[in-house]
Structures are given as structure tokens and as C-alpha cells.
Structure 1
Amino acid sequence: MSEKINDLLQIFIRYLQIERNYSELTIQEYQFDIMQFEKFMIEQSIQSIEDVEYLDVRLFLTTLYEQQLARSTISRKISSLRSFFHFLVREQHVTSNPFSFAHLPKAEKRLPSFFYEEEMEQLFATCEGNDPLSKRNRALLELLYATGIRVSECATIEITNIDFELSTILVKGKGRKERYVPFGSFAHDAIKRYIDEARSVLMKSSMKHSYLFVNYRGGALTPRGIRHILTKLIEKASLTGKIHPHMLRHTFATHLLNNGADLRSVQELLGHEHLSSTQIYTHVTKEHLKKTYLTHHPRA
């Protein structure tokens, strides 16, 4: 990477970390996309970031399509570079944003995957032990299913963020936005048991922090660590199909809507800025209603 672009990238990363408060995973994606475009610039003999024009952007788009990447991946890359150049314009490193006119490919309409209630029972059965790690895993799983919070949000929870009397938790979401999310009796009991009986065992005497979930060495669990634990639990439950930890969030929303929750409430619980982000779950629940109708109506 050229020294000039590397310097600009480092400034942009600091902006994403400090001003935008983006997660480590999101910042890595931005970095990867910008480095890929820098490689394209070298291949096309574009000497400087200031020399990039709209025609170069169109050619870059063509190369992405030729790689047969998913439309969602292409959209993310263009969005990353548009944000990067927008920042450079704002900071007066370049005079214009050549990505501002790039059309993003239409997103594929994929319905979010979720676990059925029977599958959730299988998951909970994988962490029924009395050892400290089983108690931690149970609390982790109960909390994620009870609240629908993101894995990245879960990693930032501190013990002081939990109000056991009101059964609510203060969640720090994207862009430093905070929200209170309620949790039920199953999560309440599992978290209390974990704190009282397991967390202090896992914590080492030299460890001093207030993060709720800790690893086997006593350090705070990272988002990557939480994903690893969830992936292992899913494998242990022998659940088939393409499964990922984020499905717990999808499951939370789908089960709420299936049981009569209104869309606005689910939007607030998920921390979605726009209702359109939540509306995708209504397609899943419509499928559920259709299946129920076809199964039980005498004239179906």
C-alpha cells in the first residue's frame, strides 16, 4: 500500500473508531475493501487517490461483477469506498467523491434464518452442566435469546448495566446509541447463577474488570470469542443447515412477532434505526401463518 493511501486509511480508521464507534469487525471490512481498491489502482496505473474518476469506479464495479461476488458483498464494498471518499472530501484531502454516483446493485431478498422453538431447546440442552463454563454459556445463550442483542453489544455489557430488580439491561449499540432492553425470568436466573457461582471462579486474582462475560482465563470475552462459543454450542446440538450465531437475533424477533408482538416494539428492542430493517421479519411470520393455515384449516 502506498504511503499516502496508508496514511489516509489510518486517519479514516481512527474516525470510525472514535467518532462512529464502529466494531472491530466492521472496521476490518472497511480496511479490506479500501486495500482492495488500492490494489485495483495499482493495476490501472492510477498514481494518486486524487486522480480517481467516475469511469475508474465503473471499471472497478465491472471487475467485482466478473468475480461473481454476491450483490450484498459488492454493495458493501461500494458503500465502504463511498464513505471513505466522503470522509476525504470532508477533510479536504480530495475535491470530489467519484463513488457518489455509483449505483448499488439491488439487494437479494433473503429471508432471515431462525431457530424453531424445538431447536432452541436443543441448544439450551448443550449447556446444562454445573461447571463454571457451562453456567457461563447458559447465561450467554439465555441473554442473547431473551434480548435479541447483537454479539458485539453483548461483549460490552458490564455488571453495572444490569438491573435485576427491573429485569432490564442497558445496551450500548451502534453509533454509541444506548437503549434499555428487558429480559425474562429464564435469563434472570441464569445470569444471577453465573455471577454468583461461576464468574468469580473464572476470574483470576490479577484480573480487575467489570465486564459480564469472561473467558476461561478471566479476561473479557470478545465478540469473536462469543461467536466461537455459540458456534461450538450449535455444533454440539447437531443442528443441520447453514447456521450462524446471528440467527439468535433473528430468532428473537421472529418468535416475538409469531406470538403477537407489534412491529414498532420489536424495532425498539432490536435497536433498529429504521422500521424497514425490522419489516423483513414480517415476511418470515407470514410464512409461519400460511403454514399454520394450510395445516389446520379444513378447506385449505
Structure 2
Amino acid sequence: MKSAVRIEAFLEMMSAERGAADNTLASYRRDLEDAAEAVGDLAAAQTADIRTYLGEIAARGFASSSQARKLSALRQFFKFLYMEGLRADDPTGTLDSPRKERSLPKTMSEAETGRLIDRAATEAGDPALGDAARLAALRLHALVEVLYATGLRVSELVSLPLSVALRDERFFIVRGKGDKERMVPLSAKAREAMRAWLGERGTMPAYEDNPYLFPAASESGHLPRQIFARDLKALAARAGISAAKISPHVLRHAFASHLLHNGADLRAVQQLLGHSDISTTQIYTHVLEERLVRLVNDHHPLADKTS
């Protein structure tokens, strides 16, 4: 069958000229053979045939990401045929890629977040802890308080400079993605937790000249984000919260969601999170929608107060 020969030639080109990995080649093969089975002679397929096929896989329940991947394989295949002079056109040229669904970010309720922070504070203040355990508890409490107070990215959090804790100011400047600086507020509780950690940090001679607030014997010189993520999950479990539903990124989302839920402006949250584009922040639009519905139901004179 001509399609099978053309597919093999395409895969040979991808391997020899593009250096495609075995997994990539296997994925292309599956997608192209699936299309050939549906269309017939794939090498001679027209735009209407490809559009019908894409409609069929959507009806079969394939996620939009899978649909987009299959269309991408077809684009590569027909581009190859065109470049090799085996076709005079590209039937995928006028086809739109399936729109990917924007999944809602995982987050935590305000009650869960409060429980997590309370647990961290309780452990940090436990007088029965040994030196090593006290050190770890104070550090974790400071990390959790600062993360929920600021919504920092985990990479920004673990690499905070020591100077942030030395100034005792309500705001500090953080350097984020693209080397851009932004001003971040710091709550009284977060400043207090940082001061407590700073006092313990000062007893560690090995880190006397380390410039980071959360130093570690790592290649970077600061606490690896994987260690913080592991410690955070363990803390969640001790607080009675499923470890599977929490990560540093989830706490960042909680920061943004709780701000919006309590009346913050989307633009302000964009600036606090360090998003360069408002469209990135718009994943939280559902929070605004819920707030607006509640606002109307609570305050509009014709709203049904019983619903």
C-alpha cells in the first residue's frame, strides 16, 4: 500500500536527518497508521478527509492535546511529501489546531491552608524537639508562611537572599522570570517566622558566609526545591491533609485564589505573581465568577435569598 511505503520513508527521514528518538518515531508511526486506517490512502488524502478524521477522533473521546498531537504528526508527514515532490499541496495547511482545554489549577481551601500553617507553627514552637528537628521545623514554618504570604514561585522562594530577613520591612523586591523585578508584600506572621528561623540560622557556622536565607550544602548553595516539596507533603500529612493534593505550586495557587475570592483585583494578583501577561492570570477567572455571583445573590434587591 502506497501509504505504508510513504510512512516508512517519512520515519526514515525523521530518524536519519532529524535524529528523532525511538519513542518519538513510535508515536509518529501510531498516529499516522491510525489516520491511514481511517482515511485509506493517507498519502493521497484531501483536506476534507483529514477534517473528517479529526472529527472522528474527537467523537471517540480523545483529549484535545491528543488531537493536536495527531494533527502535528500529519502536518509533518505532508510537509515531508511536499518537500520530496511526492505531493503538490499540503492538505493540512488550512486546518486549525484543536483548542486545548485550560485545566483549573489545584488549590486548597482557606481552612486547609490555615491548618497547614498552624501545624507548621506548632511544630516550630515545640520545646521537646532536638536541635536538628527544631532547625528543620523553624525552616519549614518560615518557608510555608512566606510562600502563602507572597505567592512566590518555589524557585524564587528557596533562593531568597538573606537580606530579605534582615530588613524587617513590609515589602521586598524579588527577581523573577526573565530577570524581572517585582515588589512583594510580607505579612507580619511571615516576618516573625523568618526572624525565628534567622535566629536559628545564625547558630550554623557552616553557613556564616552563605548569601541565601535558606542555605544548604547543595550545588546552588540554597535549599533544593525538591527537598522543600518533600517536607511540605510530609507536613500536610501530619496536618491531616492529603499529601497528594499539595505542592509548593498549589500553595502559590491558594495565595492567588484566596486573594481574588476576598476581593482582590485580577491585575493586582497578576503583578504579585509576576505574570508578564494577564492571560496567564486568567486561569483564576472562575474565582472571580463565583465572587460576582455571590455578590449579586447577597446584595441585589431582587435576588432570591433562599437559594
For 1:170, what is the secondary structure of its paired residue? strand
CA contact (8 A) 1:231 1:245 kept: no
For 2:16, what is the secondary structure of its paired residue? coil
* Alignment correspondent of 1:24: none
Give how far 1:181 is off.
0.8
* Alignment correspondent of 1:188: 191
CA contact (8 A) 2:207 2:215 kept: no
Give how far 1:215 is off.
4.7
> Is residue 230 from structure 1 mapped to residue 232 from structure 2 by the alignment?
yes
* Alignment correspondent of 2:118: 125
Aligned pairs (5 A) from 1:162-201: 162=165, 164-196=167-199, 198-201=200-203
Q: 1:143 aligns with which of 143, 146, 149?
A: 146
| Structure (1 or 2) with the larger CA radius of gyration | 2
- Rounded Cα–Cα distance in structure 2 between residues aligned with 1:45 and 1:274: 35
Give how far 1:244 is off.
2.9
Give how far 1:286 is off.
2.3
* Alignment correspondent of 2:210: 209
Tell me whether 258-267 or 162-171 shows the greater mean CA deviation: 162-171
Alpha-carbon RMSD: 4.0
Distance 1:285 1:156, change over 3 A: same
* Alignment correspondent of 1:8: none
For 1:112, what is the secondary structure of its paired residue? coil
Give how far 1:231 is off.
1.7
How many residues get paired? 230
Q: 1:107 aligns with which of 100, 125, 129?
A: 100
Q: 1:158 aligns with which of 141, 157, 161?
A: 161
- Rounded Cα–Cα distance in structure 1 between residues aligned with 2:296 and 2:222: 47
Q: 1:62 aligns with which of 24, 31, 50?
A: 31
What do residues 1-54 of structure 1 show as CA deviations (whole Å, max 9, x unaligned)? xxxxxxxxxxxxxxxxxxxxxxxxxxxxxxxxxxxxxxxx98766312399xxx
- Rounded Cα–Cα distance in structure 2 between residues aligned with 1:61 and 1:172: 44
Tell me whether 279-288 or 264-273 shows the greater mean CA deviation: 279-288
For 1:239, what is the secondary structure of its paired residue? coil
> Is residue 258 from structure 1 mapped to residue 278 from structure 2 by the alignment?
no
Distance 1:299 1:137, change over 3 A: same
CA contact (8 A) 2:165 2:194 kept: no
Unaligned runs of 5+ residues in structure 2 are 1-9, 36-60, 73-93, 126-133
For 1:115, what is the secondary structure of its paired residue? coil
Q: 1:220 aligns with which of 199, 222, 228?
A: 222
- Rounded Cα–Cα distance in structure 1 between residues aligned with 2:142 and 2:217: 15
Distance 1:234 1:294, change over 3 A: farther
Distance 1:59 1:156, change over 3 A: same
CA contact (8 A) 1:112 1:284 kept: no
Distance 1:273 1:69, change over 3 A: farther
Give how far 1:112 is off.
1.7
Give how far 1:242 is off.
3.2
- Rounded Cα–Cα distance in structure 1 between residues aligned with 2:68 and 2:208: 42
CA contact (8 A) 2:168 2:191 kept: no
> Is residue 248 from structure 1 mapped to residue 255 from structure 2 by the alignment?
no
Give how far 1:123 is off.
0.4
TM-score after normalising by structure 2: 0.62
Q: What letter matches 1:62 in structure 2? A: D
What do residues 245-279 of structure 1 show as CA deviations (whole Å, max 9, x unaligned)? 31111111111111111111111000001111112
TM-score after normalising by structure 1: 0.63
Give how far 1:159 is off.
1.1
Aligned pairs (5 A) from 1:76-115: 105-115=98-108
Distance 1:187 1:257, change over 3 A: same
- Rounded Cα–Cα distance in structure 2 between residues aligned with 1:164 and 1:102: 57
- Rounded Cα–Cα distance in structure 2 between residues aligned with 1:46 and 1:186: 57
What do residues 276-297 of structure 1 show as CA deviations (whole Å, max 9, x unaligned)? 1112212124235546877995
Distance 1:105 1:246, change over 3 A: farther
Distance 1:225 1:62, change over 3 A: same
CA contact (8 A) 2:169 2:186 kept: no
- Rounded Cα–Cα distance in structure 2 between residues aligned with 1:236 and 1:292: 36
Q: Percent identity?
A: 36
Give how far 1:165 is off.
4.3
- Rounded Cα–Cα distance in structure 1 between residues aligned with 2:177 and 2:68: 20
